[in-house]
Homo-oligomer: A and B are copies of this chain.
Amino acid sequence: MTSDKKPDRSRRSERSRRAILDATRALISEVGYAKVSIEAIAARAGVGKQTIYRWWPSKGAVIFDSFLALSEDGSEGEPALPDTGDLEADLKTVMRATAAEFADPEFERPIRALNTEILGDPELAAQYGEKLAGPVEELKKARLRSGQDAGQLAADADLDLVLDMLYSPLTLRWLYRSGPLTPEYADALVDATLRAFRP
């Protein structure tokens, strides 16, 4: 036990924090997750390595935070999902959009980097669930609940399970690249899921 001195958060340089997070995202986009190194981040950010090690426990944590920061200042609170009163139509809209996003090569590298990190680090996985996935999931569940109230979904449907059946196949197909992410596939998932949980 050499030096348990905890850094003083109040004196942290916001300038450095931003530079590190920005450099991280830029590097992921440019060279891909596997080749992002702490040294490269520090050099790119014009920051000493120690400044990174002082505030983050691992490379994964930096990468994770770089996404978190993005979602935090990108949107002040998540936007609600569409609610036209037609659950099926709304879900298809959202699922098709998700499929399109996954297919967009622009997002491919960063999201895949994030997922790889989460896969290997339970700590980050927990944080991911809580900070990133959770809020979005709540929004989705709210829309489902609204559909439930409108009698478009069984009153006793387990909404977490519904979400799983909707999104998991899409997500896994993307992760494993095991099939094309077409609008038709998105629609088929919505149809089947709604059949399973119709009132």
Contact surface of A with B, Cβ cutoff 8 Å: 33-34, 112, 115-116, 118-120, 122, 125-126, 128-129, 133, 158, 160-161, 164-165, 168-169, 171-173, 175-179, 188-189, 192-193, 195-197
Contacts and interface: CB of A to CB of B under 8 A. Distances in A.
A122, A129, A169, A171: most-surrounded residue (chain B CB, <10 A): A169
A189 B160 CA distance: 11
A118, A128, A172: most-surrounded residue (chain B CB, <10 A): A172
A129, A165, A193: most-surrounded residue (chain B CB, <10 A): A165
B172 A164 contact: yes
A65 B15 CA distance: 39
B168 A192 contact: no
A189 B165 contact: yes
A28 to B, nearest CB: 13
Tallying the copies of this chain within the complex gives 4
A172 B171 contact: yes
Nearest to A158: B188
A165 B161 CA distance: 11
Contacts of A34: 120
A53 B122 CA distance: 32
A189 B115 CA distance: 24
Contacts of A126: 177
Contacts of A175: 119, 175
Given A119-B176, A165-B189, A165-B193, 20 more contacts: A119-B119, A122-B177, A128-B176, A133-B176, A158-B188, A161-B192, A164-B169, A164-B172, A165-B165, A165-B169, A165-B192, A168-B168, A168-B173, A172-B172, A175-B175, A192-B197, A193-B196, A195-B195, A195-B196, A195-B197
A129 B176 contact: yes
